Structure 1
């Protein structure tokens, strides 16, 4: 809504209402039409849920992103709970996921940037069509209560306190799993995730990248900022297009030649002393597909001929390269 607009001037037959950035402490001056299907209250100062909002019967999309809500338990008694498809509670002060047994149509649920410690209340969620679940930047310690969401395609649990990759067995349709910035020491629990396309376990406590052998459809893999010492299991990932193992302890690049579809390779800030393995990989199919390569921060990038010689040598290896480190080719 434009600055200075009168938010009370709402058409009676309005189906969509966008009050983003209106700095509202409450909805006392706002008309909420009975036929409302979409309501966006992003970036306001709401601390409680207006009873008139909860009485809306046809609401399908509700965004309460960036408010001051701490208790949203009343949503469990809302008149729209059976028809709501998208609920955004991102960036509030919520400590507990509300009771959601009657939310049978919910497809997207966003709970990131709150103070949630447990996923256990999700067991009450009645939806069988949930496809997107975001619970990043909370205090979740365990992956649980999500196995029943067999249609889930996106699961975001980054920046929590998770130590183990468990509780994922039923998510056979999952395509994206984001677990960066947790406390995970081992890749596991992915045996049934054969549809997985994107996986991030960045900034954890990994010492090995083993455990990916069942993820043959994987296209993007992000493992930066761990303690990985060598590449392994790449022969099981023929569809991989993006591989990020930057800021690890990798010194041996054996296995890269198996990645025939790779376009983006992040190897910067490791312990690579020689470009020999890259030369071998460049002679195969990967040499003709790679368009982006990061190698800075490795001894191999500090050649006797200087920076220009290093760049020239790498560009010769990969004729389709468009970017080397932070510079375009």
Structure 2
């Protein structure tokens, strides 16, 4: 069974969020309230708790908290603009706490954690990109909660027990293709969906010239035109 070897390690000494914010401001010589993107990545000692000082960050559009020892998602109330959240390589076991950003969050990078259940993910109605590789999801019942995400187009699920089992047996990509109708890209590769035969059975309008193309410069299928951003698995 897959194990999360890369999740954050429990530390006896940690950095508080208040200390992390002050250190960021000292290092960048700017008030954190004046920027839209904040990275508190790989702190030493690491960050453990998302306490009430999260409200100092509630204005940001992109927040990176990867490579720490965060265990619980909390205090995202009043985050009205958050679009990208990076939480890779922590000790997170549950997605509970993200409901507050369900109306704005478009990308969630949460690989290399300890997540087995996907309860609460359905609140993320605007989520388009989900990187949740190397977690502990092991059955289709949990996986199918992703079908409640109407905007989801890109998914990375490598390294979860379910993916490893299905890949070994064969048919992983085919099953995802069948179960998640909105997803266009899986584990870094495009999902190509076949066009229904019914498309070709529809009668053509009278007088149609089959040898003429009104737009020879029409773009390729958008599904095959998607490319991965040059970023790591934690979104940084």
- Shorter-chain TM-score bucket reads 0.5 to 0.7
2:104 counterpart residue number: 239
Contact 1:202 1:224 in 2 (8 A): yes
1:113 counterpart residue number: none
Consecutive unaligned residues of structure 2, counting only runs of 5 or more, are: 1-18, 192-236
| SS of alignment partner, residue 254 of structure 1 | coil
CA distance in 2, matches of 1:145, 1:226: 20
Structure exhibiting the larger radius of gyration computed from Cα positions: 1
Counterparts of 1:240-319 in structure 2, within 5 Å, are 240-282=105-147, 284=148, 286=149, 288-303=150-165, 306=168, 308-319=170-181
**More helix as a share of residues:** 2
RMSD: 2.8
* Greater RCO, 1 or 2 (C-alpha within 8 Å, sep 6+): 2
Contact 2:72 2:93 in 1 (8 A): yes
CA distance in 2, matches of 1:196, 1:318: 31
Counterparts of 1:77-92 in structure 2, within 5 Å, are none
Using the size of structure 1 for normalisation, the TM-score is 0.46
Contact 2:137 2:143 in 1 (8 A): no
CA distance in 1, matches of 2:37, 2:155: 23
Is the deviation greater in 207-216 or in 170-179? 170-179
CA distance in 1, matches of 2:114, 2:89: 9
| SS of alignment partner, residue 177 of structure 1 | strand
Contact 2:76 2:97 in 1 (8 A): yes
| SS of alignment partner, residue 311 of structure 1 | helix
| SS of alignment partner, residue 190 of structure 1 | helix
Consecutive unaligned residues of structure 1, counting only runs of 5 or more, are: 1-140, 150-154, 158-167
Contact 2:146 2:180 in 1 (8 A): no
**Structure 1 residue 195 and structure 2 residue 79: aligned?**
no
Contact 1:225 1:247 in 2 (8 A): yes
**Structure 1 residue 177 and structure 2 residue 55: aligned?**
no
| Of 65, 69, 73, the match for 1:205 | 69
CA distance in 2, matches of 1:241, 1:289: 9
Contact 1:303 1:309 in 2 (8 A): no
Q: Label 1:306 to 1:193 Cα distance change in 2 as closer, same or farther (>3 A).
A: same
Contact 1:203 1:223 in 2 (8 A): yes
Q: Once the two structures are superposed, what CA deviation does each residue of 1:77-125 show, in whole Å capped at 9, x if it has no partner?
A: xxxxxxxxxxxxxxxxxxxxxxxxxxxxxxxxxxxxxxxxxxxxxxxxx
Counterparts of 1:1-329 in structure 2, within 5 Å, are 143-144=21-22, 171-182=32-43, 183-188=46-51, 189-237=53-101, 238-282=103-147, 284=148, 286=149, 288-303=150-165, 306=168, 308-329=170-191
CA distance in 2, matches of 1:173, 1:316: 45
CA distance in 1, matches of 2:156, 2:24: 36
The count of corresponding residues between Structure 1 and Structure 2 is 169
Using the size of structure 2 for normalisation, the TM-score is 0.63
Q: Label 1:326 to 1:307 Cα distance change in 2 as closer, same or farther (>3 A).
A: farther
| SS of alignment partner, residue 191 of structure 1 | helix
Give the Å deviation of 1:259.
0.7
Q: Label 1:318 to 1:145 Cα distance change in 2 as closer, same or farther (>3 A).
A: closer
Give the Å deviation of 1:145.
7.8
Contact 2:59 2:81 in 1 (8 A): yes
Contact 2:73 2:98 in 1 (8 A): no
